[in-house]
Amino acid sequence: MTLIIAVDGPAASGKGTIAARLAQTYGLPHLDTGLLYRAVGYAAAQHNPPFDEGYATMFAERSIPETLDNPGYRTGEAGEAASRVAAMPGVRSGLLKFQKDFAAKPGGAVLDGRDIGTVIAPDALAKLFVTASPEVRARRRWLQVRGQGSDIAFEDMLADIKRRDERDAGRGSAPMVQADDAVLLDTTDMGIEAAFDAARRIVEAARAKHGL
């Protein structure tokens, strides 16, 4: 059985770091699907008019770059733009094949996002839903962007996190929800090493259950 690991959860929950570490541990390719939406959002924000759904959908269908290491995709503005375009059904549909093809790689893959276990890879062998309190997630992101030179206030970051959570959970197309068979991993009181160890044990339990 192919080892596909689906890691879902809200912004700044630790899911990306956990997914990358799991991919390294098991020798699997890793896709941060949020970067796909950041790439679309980044382009849509610069288009005239900005955030035109037709343009964003076309970009998602035809223009996703082979590389996703553009530093512009890692900014707070790109994260907000990603949340906006992710609510567009055409964008989600346009990115669907790319993500499903990645999940179908021979030998397996690790994908993190918000709808991996429910839409992209519903048959994944291991599913995790990684979360933390909004306050803890906001502090993590706040410290990160301060280290990059931003002077955003913590209160503004917390409001942004809550706004993105509401948008991601409330959208009509593929909302962010925990899959019925996903294991909840709350990292509120965990450092990254403890969170990764808990995630690895979840994956090992899934592998043992399926004899892999």
Structure tokens at 158: 């917390």
pLDDT at 66 over 70: no
Q: Which amino acid is at 152?
A: I
Q: How far apart are CA 201 and CA 212, in angstroms?
A: 14
User: pLDDT tens, 46-61?
Assistant: 999 999 999 999 999 9
Provide the pLDDT for residue 101: 93
Length of the chain: 212
Evaluate whether 163 touches 155 at the Cβ level (below 8 Å).
no
Q: What's the distance, CA 83 to chain centroid?
A: 11
* Each residue's pLDDT tens digit, 121-156: 999 999 999 999 999 999 999 998 888 788 889 999
Q: Collect all residues with Cβ–Cβ distance below 8 Å to 169 and sequence separation of at least 6.
A: 175, 176, 177
Contacts 24+ apart (CB under 8 A), 62-71: 64/36, 64/39, 64/40, 64/95, 64/98, 65/39, 68/32, 68/35, 68/36, 68/38, 68/39, 70/39, 70/42
Q: What is the pLDDT of residue 212?
A: 86
Ranges of each domain in the chain:
3-209
The angle formed by the CA atoms of residues 99, 29 and 212, to the nearest 5 degrees, is: 100
Would you tell me how many other CB atoms lie within 10 Å of the CB of residue 81? Answer: 25
Maximum average pLDDT range among 81-85, 145-149, 159-163, 179-183 = 179-183
Say which residues have a Cβ less than 8 Å from residue 66's Cβ, sequence separation at least 6.
none
- Please tell me the class of the 3-209 domain: alpha beta
120 pLDDT band, cuts 50/70/90, is very high
Q: 74 - beta bridge partners?
A: none
The yes-or-no verdict on residue 13 having pLDDT over 80 is yes
pLDDT of 38 higher than 70: yes
At 192-208, the pLDDT tens digits run 999 999 999 999 999 99
